[in-house]
Amino acid sequence: MILPSKPLAIYVDVDDTICKTNGMDYPNSQPIMENIQKVNDLYDAGHHIVYWTARGQKSGIDWTELTTEQLKKWGARYHDLKLTKPPYDVFIDDKVINSRDWEKGRWLETWEDKWK
């Protein structure tokens, strides 16, 4: 895998990106180990990894402890965890990478020019 040469601040969603979650059934989320390893590779390459999730934003439930325990159990390496992501249906941003493209490695070629 080609990795960016300069350190990047990389925000990574949790549910349905590094784990499969049915609705808001967070206690039963199942890790996607291949995706966790991809993020760990970025961490090991010196990038600043922040897991950013909307868990609890609609319900008001604080899922910090459960999420922290899950990340530890799954071996996810990161610098920070933020449960402040707003709930939304569509996210439009010039720096967004679709998680399915990311899974297939297509984001690397798309973003290579931005890293220079």
Tell me which residue of 11, 45, 17 sits closest to 102, measured CA to CA. 17
* pLDDT tens profile 27-75: 999 999 999 999 999 999 899 999 999 999 999 999 999 999 999 999 9
What would the 3-class secondary structure string for the chain be?
CCCCCCCCEEEECCECCCEECCCCCHHHCEECHHHHHHHHHHHHCCCEEEEECCCCCCCCCCCHHHHHHHHHHHCCCCCEEECCCCCCCCCCCCCCCCHHHHHCCHHHHHHHHHHC
Domains and CATH numbers, the chain: 9-115 (3.40.50.1000)
Across the chain, mean pLDDT equals 87
State if pTM tops 0.85: no
